Amino acid sequence: MEIKNCPYCDSKRLYILQNNYKKCSTCNRKFSIRKIEIDFRIIEFFCNNISANRCSKILKLNYRTVQNRYMLFRKLIANFLENEHYNSINDNSSYEEFYYFTNREKKNKKRSLYNAINILGFYSNKKVFTLLMPKLPRHNTVEDDKEFEKYLKWHRIYSQYSYSTPLNVFWKYLEENLKKYKGVNENNFFYYLKECEFKFTYLQNKQIEILKTIFYKYQ
């Protein structure tokens, strides 16, 4: 892989040092060509939906190193999507509430909305944006819980034309893509949600381009 631009500032003013590192004469950053090549490969594997385990084996890297890098990508993506959305809010956006159940919960015939992950989705400027909502609060009695749950099922939040927007497609995409992780820790669910949002919104080559940019801004 030939690196023609500085990964940190995108300048083409690069020159090779004696130790085979490159240096950018614009931002004065030095970097290992080998390290940048590995960074790029990990980014491409992530955007190609290749698991951290498989990526580590192909690139002969420590699994924990790759897994930590994947989680960092998800956190950077979450921040990127937040900025993108709030810098281009459209008042005519469609919105819809969605209750996500894990595969285990789906198999439970007595599953409750109290065990679901509550998500609010928006569709604006041809992009999906999601907000993770707080868990539903339980009441003092089982009967109150049942009545409130029944109320929520009939009064789910949504805009008039949300069913005709890609939001409906995104919920199916989300459920299908999260299956491959065979269980996501609820503390990290937000980041996996944002990964799905990112990959649903942008074409793969655009994902790679964005992720390379925000990853090196973080460095």
pLDDT at 138: 65
Q: Determine if residue 28 is left, alpha or beta; phi over 0 gives left, psi from -120 to 50 gives alpha, anything else beta.
A: left
Q: What's this model's pTM, rounded to 2 decimal places? A: 0.82
Two structure tokens written together for 14:
């690069």
Taking 60 as the threshold, does the pLDDT of residue 58 lie above it?
Answer: yes
Contact of 105 with 84, CB cutoff 8 Å: no
Q: List, in sequence order, the alpha helices (H) in 48-166.
A: 52-59, 63-86, 103-106, 142-154
Contact of 178 with 170, CB cutoff 8 Å: no
* Residue 96: pLDDT band with limits 50, 70, 90: confident
